[in-house]
Amino acid sequence: MTKGVKIILICVIVVFAVSAAISLYMLRPADSKMVSVIRDNEVLYSFDLSTAENQTIRIDYEDGGYNIVEIENGEIRISEADCPDKTCVKTGTLKSEEIPVVCLPHHLILRFSDK
């Protein structure tokens, strides 16, 4: 193996290791179980998922739109919405502190809150 090939190989391994570490960091389970339901910087609801009972909350908006937020077995998600893209519903349950569940058309955000 020539020196050049070795250097390239080492670079590839380093890049792979760094990206693996970053994805593990992004996907790690959240430390906090406190979540907030936020709309336009206003906290509508806060829950401690470790103690919250299973429940369904319907949030209605002035323009007739709505989101349905569901807490089930310590997990929170948007189970239903009338937004056009349904990205919020497709996102599924809230898992990471870095990646909130967002409904852009309704400005609604589910995210883990600071302790």
Q: Which residues pair with 66 in a beta bridge?
A: 60
Name the minimum Å distance from CB 87 to Zn ion: 6
The residue among 35 and 108 lying less far from Zn ion, judged by its C-beta, is 108
One DSSP character per residue, 62-113 reads: TTS-EEEEEEETTEEEEEEE--SS-HHHHH-S---SSS-EEETTTTEEEEEP
Nearer to Zn ion, 35 or 81 (CB): 81
Residue 10: helix, strand or coil by DSSP? helix
- The CA–CA distances, whole Å, from 99 to 14, 19, 111 equal 26, 17, 8
Task: Please say which residue, 72 or 80, places its beta carbon nearer to Zn ion.
Answer: 80
- Least Cβ distance, residue 17 to Zn ion (angstroms): 36
**Contact set with Zn ion (CB under 5 A):** 81, 83, 88, 103
Residue 44 phi, psi dihedral angles, 5° rounding: -80, -40
Of the pair 81, 109, the CB lying nearest Zn ion is at 81
> Closest approach of Cβ 70 to Zn ion, in Å?
14
In whole angstroms, the minimum distance from the beta carbon of 76 to Zn ion comes to 15
